[in-house]
Amino acid sequence: SANSFFAACGTMTINFILLRVASSDEMAAFSVRTNVSNLFGVFGLAMGAVAFDLGSLTLGEDNRRDFLDIAKICFRKCFTVGGILTVACLIFTPLIDDMYGHQDIEALVALCVRIFILRIPFQAALSVYANLSNSLGRRVYSTVIYVFDDLMFPVLISIMLMGEFKAVGVWLSLTLCVPATLLLTYAYAYVKNKKLTVSLSGWIMLPEDFGVDDDMYYNTEFNVKDTDRLEEVKQAVYELFRKKQDNEKSASLAKEIVEIYGRKIIEHGSKSKHAHYMDICAFLKNDDCKIVIKDDCSSYELLSETDKDNKRLGDEVRSRVKNIDYRRTMQINELRVAI
C-alpha cells in the first residue's frame, strides 16, 4: 500500500542519515529500538483497526452520536492504556537491555528506547485519527497523514537536530514527528472549518449532514430467539416511515423487509447454542427510508449468489429498493437497505 511505501522510504532515509552521524554503538542501540518498535507499535495499529471497523459500522446507520462516542473512547484508550504501557516500559527499560544483551552500551540503549517509548500514546492517537478519516472516505487525506508522520517530519526534524545532537537528534525526530503530525491535522481542520477548532467533530471534520434527528430515527436490539419482539419492531418501523414520510408504499415495503430478513436471521441464529442478538435501525435521510439490520450470528450470506433461495430473494428485494448491501465486519453481519 501507499502507507507502507512511504514508511519504507522514511526508514531508509533515517538509516542513511544515521550512518552519517552515528557511531557503531549508537547504531547498535538503534537496532534495539527498532525491535522494541515492532513489539509495541502493534498497540497503535490495533487501536486504528478498531476505530476503522467501528466507525464504518456507525456510518451505515448515519449515527453521528455513536461515531463521536467511538472516537472519544478510542482516544481515551490511546492515552490511558498507552500511558500505562509507556510508564511500564520506562520503568522496565533495564530488562529490555538485558533481553537484547547489550550490557556494554546499556546507557545508550536505555536512552534510545526511552525516547521511542514516549511516542506510544501519540502514535496510537494518530492511528485512530487516520483510520477514522479513512472510514469517512478520506483515503487520500489519511495517506498524506502517514507521509508526514513516516517521511516528511522525521527527515526535517532530523536535519534540524542532528547538527547539535548527532544520533540523539535523529532518535528524537522519530518521536517528535508524531505530535507534530497531530498538530498539522489540527491546523488543517482549522483551515478547513475556517474557525478555531475545539470540538472533536470539528477536528475529525465530520460532514454537517452526517447524522439524523432523533425523531427521524429508530433503533432497538433483542435476542434472536425472541420472535415476538420482531412483530413489535416491524410495526414500529412501519409507523416511523408512515408518519414521517407519509408514504404507505415505502412504509409497507420497509415493514416487509424487516419481516423477511428478521425471520431469516432468527432461523439462522436459533440453531446456535449461544445467545445471539439482532440490532435493527431505521431512519429517514434525504427522503430515503433506510434500514440497517445487524446480528452477531455466525457468518452467512443473506445475498448469496450460490444459495438459490437467498439469491432469488435478494434479486426480488433488489428490484424493489434503491440499494441493498451485505457485509461482515468484526464478527458482525450487516444488511443495509435504502428504499
Q: What does the pLDDT look like over 239-257, one tens digit per residue?
A: 998 887 777 888 999 999 9
The mean pLDDT of 32-54, rounded to a whole number, is: 91
Query: b/e for 286-296, b at 16 or more Cβ within 10 A?
Result: eeebbbbbbbb
Q: Where are the beta strands (DSSP E) in 45-199?
A: none
Q: What is the pLDDT of residues 110-159, one digit of tens each?
A: 999 999 999 999 999 999 999 999 999 999 999 999 999 999 999 999 99
- Structure-model confidence comparison of residues 153 and 260, the more confident one: 153
Q: Does pLDDT of 305 surpass 70? A: no
H or E segment at 221? Answer: strand 217-223
Please tell me the distance from the alpha carbon of residue 44 to that of residue 123, in angstroms, as a whole number: 6
Q: Does pLDDT of 106 surpass 90? A: no
H or E segment at 292? Answer: strand 288-295
DSSP bridge partners of 290: 283, 338
End-to-end C-alpha distance for the chain, whole angstroms: 36
Task: Grade residue 2 by pLDDT with cuts at 50, 70 and 90.
Answer: confident
- Structure-model confidence comparison of residues 304 and 32, the more confident one: 32
Task: Grade residue 38 by pLDDT with cuts at 50, 70 and 90.
Answer: confident
Please tell me the distance from the alpha carbon of residue 313 to that of residue 58, in angstroms, as a whole number: 26
**Which three three-digit cell numbers place residue 67?**
461515531
Predicted pLDDT at 215: 84
The mean pLDDT of 83-109, rounded to a whole number, is: 83
Q: Does pLDDT of 298 surpass 80? A: yes
Task: Grade residue 313 by pLDDT with cuts at 50, 70 and 90.
Answer: confident
Please tell me the distance from the alpha carbon of residue 201 to that of residue 188, in angstroms, as a whole number: 14
Q: Which of 13-17, 256-260, 297-301, 329-333 has the lowest mean pLDDT?
A: 297-301
Task: Grade residue 301 by pLDDT with cuts at 50, 70 and 90.
Answer: low
Q: Does pLDDT of 63 surpass 90? A: no
